[in-house]
Copies of this chain bind each other. A is one copy, B any other.
Amino acid sequence: MEKLAVIALGGNAITRGDEKGTIEEQYKNSSDTIRNLIYLIKDGYNLVLSHGNGPQVGNILLRNDAGEEIYDIPQMPLDICVADSQGGIGYMLEKMLRNILKEEGIDREVVTIVTQVVVSKDDPAFENYTKRVGKLYSKERADEMAAKKGWVFKANSKNDDKWRRVVPSPEPKEIMNERIIKDLVNSGVIVIASGGGGIPVYYDEKGMLQALEAVIDKDAASSLLASRIGADEFYILTDVPYVYANYGTPQQKIMEFLNKEKITQMIDKGEFGEGSMLPKIKSALRFVENGGQKSVITEASKLEDRKFGSRITLN
């Protein structure tokens, strides 16, 4: 039985929070994660792989800053940095997946597509910048960069005088090349696409594509991609095996099955963290609302067991 699934890997599947992000660490983590995809592939799934890029694009931004400081090399805008990260991460995942497929004696092609994702210039996100990117600056330096580059800064926390650049995080509206991705994946090719939420672009009043200094949530973009290519299932791989009720309390409880009604209740009760589980839950729900069979939120190591993770359906 051939099924089409989109798998969204978290950025921590590549660089863990406690690591510096050496290439050896990145290969080790990615390899551990990707090896688990074999279970789905052996079950006959066609796969699209998307991935986060938080730690990687963070480092690329820092390198841009350092390169300007030491060598006076012009900094690249955020969209180019996201595109760079799609190239580097996509290549690393593709190579690793090719090797694991060969070890397993499975004959499947793998291709990485640099993916633009279209947002609306009228998105309310452009009124309220929420996504922190890049390095911490002193107030003085932040003011200087704001004047020079038009960047917007917010205080990092109440406890220090550090400032961090914030950018908008608009909703994805269109995945570029979805037709090509769909055809490739339905012919059995494993496609790596929409890395880091996609490279954010918008159509101007003349219908021309323009770059944006923004970051699109990778689970939101992956959910849209999954819907647009008619995927049956959507997997969000993260660092917990399940979604929990009363997370982090003595009453913590595994939620093995979730539907729209239950999720709505839990969101209303404020059960999910703004920067962590909430966007994942919303993207998982969006996929089944758009006609997908089920979404799954779990960690990669649980893919071996065919009854794993939190399964999310409409009803």
Flag whether A62 is at the interface (Cβ < 8 A): yes
CA distance A85 to B64 in the complex (A): 14
Partner of A67, one of B59, B81, B209: B59
Known contacts A87-B85, A91-B199; A73 and B20 CB within 8 A of each other: yes
Q: Is the CB of B114 within 8 A of A114?
A: yes
Known contacts A84-B85, A102-B208, A208-B102; A177 and B70 CB within 8 A of each other: no
Flag whether A184 is at the interface (Cβ < 8 A): yes
Q: Is the CB of B111 within 8 A of A177?
A: yes
Q: Which of A44-52, A92-100, A216-224 contacts the other chain? A: A92-100
Residues 133-160 of A, flagged 1 when their CB comes within 8 A of B and 0 if not, give: 0010000000000000000000000000
CA distance A79 to B65 in the complex (A): 22
Judged by DSSP, the binding face of A is helix
Question: Which of A23, A85, A114, A209 has the most B CB atoms < 10 Å from its CB?
Answer: A114
Q: Is the CB of B73 within 8 A of A83?
A: no
Known contacts A91-B83, A114-B91; A63 and B73 CB within 8 A of each other: yes
CA distance A24 to B201 in the complex (A): 16
Number of copies: 2
Determine the chain B residues whose CB is within 8 A of the CB of A69 once the complex forms: 66, 70
CA distance A176 to B111 in the complex (A): 9
CA distance A103 to B209 in the complex (A): 11
Residues 168-179 of A, flagged 1 when their CB comes within 8 A of B and 0 if not, give: 000000000101
CA distance A98 to B207 in the complex (A): 11
Partner of A87, one of B22, B23, B87, B94: B87
Q: Is the CB of B113 within 8 A of A112?
A: yes
Determine the chain B residues whose CB is within 8 A of the CB of A207 once the complex forms: 102
Known contacts A94-B114, A95-B116; A177 and B84 CB within 8 A of each other: no
CA distance A199 to B64 in the complex (A): 22
Q: Is the CB of B73 within 8 A of A70?
A: no
CA distance A90 to B64 in the complex (A): 19
Q: Is the CB of A111 within 8 A of B109?
A: no
Q: Is the CB of A179 within 8 A of B109?
A: yes
CA distance A112 to B74 in the complex (A): 24
Determine the chain B residues whose CB is within 8 A of the CB of A99 once the complex forms: 208-209
Determine the chain B residues whose CB is within 8 A of the CB of A87 once the complex forms: 83-88, 90, 114
CA distance A184 to B189 in the complex (A): 13
Flag whether A76 is at the interface (Cβ < 8 A): yes
Q: Chain B nearest CB: distance from A32 CB in Å?
A: 16
A204, closest chain B residue (CB): B99
CA distance A146 to B289 in the complex (A): 56
Determine the chain B residues whose CB is within 8 A of the CB of A21 once the complex forms: 73-74
CA distance A225 to B131 in the complex (A): 41
Partner of A83, one of B80, B92, B109, B180: B92
